[in-house]
């Protein structure tokens, strides 16, 4: 055997070669161990890569970014909103115009009108008559005491009749109506507005102004003059009864003095005032009701505000109508003294 062959057949120690391992010293079985060298694994990328060698064309330049436009100066009324009282007043004027137009065109819900007339007239008669009776008796106490000392007891009936017909009866009736009817109108329409019942009426094809507002305004305009006449009669009767029973002034003297002092224009002006007061109460209450928002709290605020604004409007209108109806010097008390 040649030295080269002997070198090739020489056993290799397991400790000298990493791929050979002898299971025992006398065994000739060879075991191959896996190589500890890790092969490189190529990484996959979802984005395409551009090769600088494949395409030597120059990259087109990106368009320049647009320069930001200068901000517009803030407007003077950008964050301004009109006060609530202003737009509610404008809504009341707009609602009054719509009611007037509906009345002229005949767009009135008659069944609802009759229901509101029953509510404003007989429903408010008890409170209005009771208030008128006690107001008449309170004025009688003040007038009879002073006029009797001056010997003018024959003119007491004329003074009471003029005061009741021109001022007390229409104003007191309007105050009672504003407190009882106006608050109810504002609360009802405000509740319907916050619960979206008015939108339901529009969906069903009904106009809320025709169905809800016009009957209430007409009911107040028609019922308040009747209540004013009844209040005037009851107030004068209670005054005559108190003057006769307490101060000794005969009922016939009171009524005769009232007949001499009163003129037809006094009663007509009282009826006209009542109609104007009724329109103010109904329009303001309905306008405040349909502009309600904010849930139950908003309904309460709208009701209170509607009554206050209605009373202020009644007093302002009373002053304006009194200046319009009664100008110059009067001579009614001259006829009342006989």
Q: Kindly report, residue by residue over 176-218, the tens digit of the pLDDT.
A: 999 999 999 999 999 988 888 888 888 887 788 888 899 999 9
Count of structural domains, the chain: 1
Q: What is the DSSP letter of 72?
A: P
Cβ-contact 57, 45 below 8 angstroms: no
**Which pLDDT band holds residue 130 (cuts at 50, 70, 90)?**
very high
Assigned token pair, 290: 């349909």
Residue 247, domain member (yes or no): yes
Helix (H) or strand (E) holding 20: strand 20-22
Q: Is residue 53 situated within a structural domain?
A: no
* DSSP assignment of 165-217: IIIIHHHHHHHHHIIIIIHHHHHHHHHHHHTTHHHHHHHTT--HIIIIIHHHH
What share of the chain has pLDDT > 70, as a percent? Answer: 72
pLDDT single digits (tens) 295-334 = 888 898 989 999 999 999 999 999 999 999 887 656 666 6
Classify residue 320: in a domain, yes or no. Answer: yes
| Most confident of the ranges 62-66, 81-85, 327-331 | 81-85
Which of 112-116, 138-142, 325-329 is predicted with the least confidence, judged by mean pLDDT?
A: 325-329
Neighbours of 210 (CB within 10 A): 18
**Segment among 15-19, 67-71, 111-115, 207-211 with least mean pLDDT:** 15-19
**Tokens 């009904």 sit at which residue?**
206
Flag whether 209 is in a domain. Answer: yes
Task: Give a yes or no: residue 97 inside a domain.
Answer: no
d(CA 17, CA 13): 7
Q: Per the domain annotation, does 152 fall within a domain?
A: yes
Return the ∠ at Cα 195 (arms to 175 and 114), rounded to 5°: 50
Q: In this predicted structure, which of 21-25, 134-138, 260-264, 312-316 has the lowest mean pLDDT?
A: 21-25
In angstroms, the CA 34 to CA 19 distance is: 7
Range of the structural domain that residue 216 is part of: 109-326
Residue 273 lies in a domain: yes
Evaluate whether residue 319 is within a structural domain.
yes
Cβ pair 287, 208 in contact under 8 A: no
**Cα Rg of the chain, angstroms:** 49
């Amino acid at each position: 055997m040649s030295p080269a062959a002997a070198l090739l057949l020489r056993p290799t120690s397991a400790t000298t070669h990493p791929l050979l391992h002898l299971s025992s010293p006398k065994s000739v079985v060879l075991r191959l161990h896996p190589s500890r060298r890790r092969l490189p694994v190529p990484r996959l990328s979802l984005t395409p890569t551009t090769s600088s060698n494949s395409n030597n064309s120059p990259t087109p330049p990106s368009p320049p970014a647009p320069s930001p436009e200068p901000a517009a100066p803030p407007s003077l009324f950008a964050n301004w909103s009109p006060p609530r009282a202003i737009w509610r007043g404008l809504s009341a004027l707009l609602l009054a115009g719509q009611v007037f137009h509906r009345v002229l065109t005949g767009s009135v819900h008659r069944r609802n009108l009759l229901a509101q007339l029953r509510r404003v007239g007989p429903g408010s008669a008890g409170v209005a008559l009771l208030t008128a009776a006690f107001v008449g008796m309170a004025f009688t106490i003040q007038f009879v005491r002073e006029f009797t000392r001056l010997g003018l007891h024959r003119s007491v009936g004329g003074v009471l009749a003029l005061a009741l017909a021109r001022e007390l009866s229409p104003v007191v009736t309007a105050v009672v109506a504003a407190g009882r009817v106006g608050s109810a109108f504002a609360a009802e329409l405000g509740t319907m507005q916050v619960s979206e019942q008015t939108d339901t009426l529009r969906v069903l094809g009904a106009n809320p102004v025709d169905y809800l507002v016009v009957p209430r305004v007409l009911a107040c305009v028609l019922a308040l003059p009747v209540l004013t006449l009844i209040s005037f009669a009851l107030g004068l009767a209670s005054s005559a009864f108190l003057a006769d029973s307490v101060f000794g002034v005969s009922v016939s003297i009171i009524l005769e003095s009232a007949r001499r002092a009163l003129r037809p224009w006094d009663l007509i002006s009282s009826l006209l005032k009542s109609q104007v007061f009724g329109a103010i109460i109904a329009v303001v209450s309905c306008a405040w009701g349909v502009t309600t928002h904010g849930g139950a709290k908003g309904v309460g605020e709208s009701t209170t505000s509607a009554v206050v604004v209605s009373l202020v409007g009644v007093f302002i209108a009373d002053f304006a109508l009194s200046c319009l109806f009664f100008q110059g010097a009067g001579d009614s008390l001259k006829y009342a003294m006989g």
